[in-house]
Amino acid sequence: MWQDRHDRYDPTMSIDEGHLDRLVWAAGEITRWFPGAARDLPWRRIRTPWRALVSEFMLQQTQVSRVAERFELFLESFPSPMAMVEAGEEAVLAKWSGLGYYRRARMLHAAAVCIVERHSGEVPQDADTLESLPGVGRYTAGAIASIACAQPSPIVDGNVDRVFARLTADASIPGEKGRDSRRWNEALIYVSSADRPDLVNEGLMELGALVCQPKSPQCLICPLSERCQSYQLGKVAEIPPPKPRPQKKLIEMHVGISWFGKKLLLARRPESGLFAKTMFPPDVGDFGSMEKLRSLGEVRHQTTHRDVRVHVHLFPEKCIVVDAEWKHPDDPGLALTSLASKIIRLARSDQAPESGAGASSTSSG
């Protein structure tokens, strides 16, 4: 039955009949539950494939509340793939400033270019074609296809994985061999049984975000508790078991600060690598002379996989560094990472006590 509808179904992955029935039942329960429980989020008010694509890129590793604050303003600047292409990557990076993980912004721009060049400016509506776009993986493709285009495409993210693991009492460790294939098969059976793929998929993610949370799950108000095996066995707190976390990679950087009035010397990071293509204080080694520098302190920044420690050094005013430019740090057109903003705040805090006479004698920003 399921294989006829989706060629990505794995017929070698057996699913217990009880689990299969439970998944079909869950789709019906979520369809009834979600309309009354859904949060009012900006990308839900008007549904288009482009808005869905942008929201999925923005929501990766960023809190929903933060994306909700920025979403409409971002869309005002880039209401369509063509508008984003015409604005250029630098403009996208600038508008992305503060959201972190800038590679997502670069890949979103690359996806827009692909949509314009290969799809006449229209976002594809099927998951396979969506997955061919830069930066779009299987989950993102399925989310756009099902939620914005009503296609019966499966999705698996952290929330979906947790709900299905508890529903079926799957105590396997995330990353364990066969686990991902099993989860995608379950997601396919689940969405294929529904009349409204958009409701069941988005509702499933909403359930994981609001009710079936990693810690303190609210089982008493969960629409699936009646047939949730983990709940019935008293093992909700144990399932799924935590995934072993790899040790974070320590990265140390040394950057230089040089002022020219209210403007700061900034350089664009390389095309690839950490903080690629964003504006950042130059590396200390790029300054011609190491004399008269003074340490301002250290700025720390944590990402999912990295522990970044930046040693900040003050150089004399008006230094010259190849390929660096004088920029006003408050320029809204600058693509600044949150780490760069932290470094600038540290530099300004050092400058503040002397700003009385000094600031008035500097050039205007």
Q: Point out the residues of the chain with pLDDT beneath 50.
A: 1-7, 9-12, 354-365
Domains and CATH numbers, the chain: 2-155+180-209 (1.10.340.30), 250-360 (3.90.79.10)
Note the pLDDT tens digit of each residue in 226-255. 999 999 999 999 999 988 778 888 999 999
Give the Å distances, CA to CA, from 342 to 84, 136, 179, 301, 324. 28, 30, 40, 9, 19
Q: What is the CA radius of gyration of the chain?
A: 25
Structure confidence at residue 290 (pLDDT): 73
Note the pLDDT tens digit of each residue in 128-182. 999 999 999 999 999 999 999 999 999 999 999 999 999 999 999 888 889 999 9
Residue 79: is the preceding peptide bond cis (ω within 30°)?
no
Length of the chain: 365
> Which conformational region is residue 163 in: left (phi greater than 0), alpha (psi within -120 to 50 degrees), or beta?
alpha
Contacting residues for 96 by C-beta, under 8 A, at least 6 apart:
74, 102, 104, 105, 335
Contacting residues for 268 by C-beta, under 8 A, at least 6 apart:
277, 278, 279, 280, 323
The active-site residue out of 56, 131, 202, 206 is 56
Rounded to an integer, what distance in angstroms lies between the CA atom of residue 117 and that of residue 119? Answer: 6
Rounded to an integer, what distance in angstroms lies between the CA atom of residue 124 and that of residue 118? Answer: 10
Structure confidence at residue 365 (pLDDT): 31
Strand intervals (E) in the chain: 249-257, 259-260, 263-268, 279-280, 294-302, 306-314, 324-327
Q: Is the pTM of this model over 0.85?
A: no
206 catalytic residue (yes or no): no
Judged by DSSP in three states, 183 sits in helix
Rounded to an integer, what distance in angstroms lies between the CA atom of residue 255 and that of residue 278? Answer: 14
What is the bridge-based pairing of β-strands 249-257 and 306-314? parallel
Structure confidence at residue 353 (pLDDT): 53
Rounded to an integer, what distance in angstroms lies between the CA atom of residue 287 and that of residue 317? Answer: 12
**How would DSSP label each residue in 122-172?**
----SHHHHTTSTT--HHHHHHIIIIIT--------HHHHHHHHHHTT--P
Rounded to an integer, what distance in angstroms lies between the CA atom of residue 185 and that of residue 176? Answer: 16
Q: Which tokens hold the place of 47? A: 């549904």
Structure confidence at residue 352 (pLDDT): 60
Rounded to an integer, what distance in angstroms lies between the CA atom of residue 87 and that of residue 128? Answer: 28
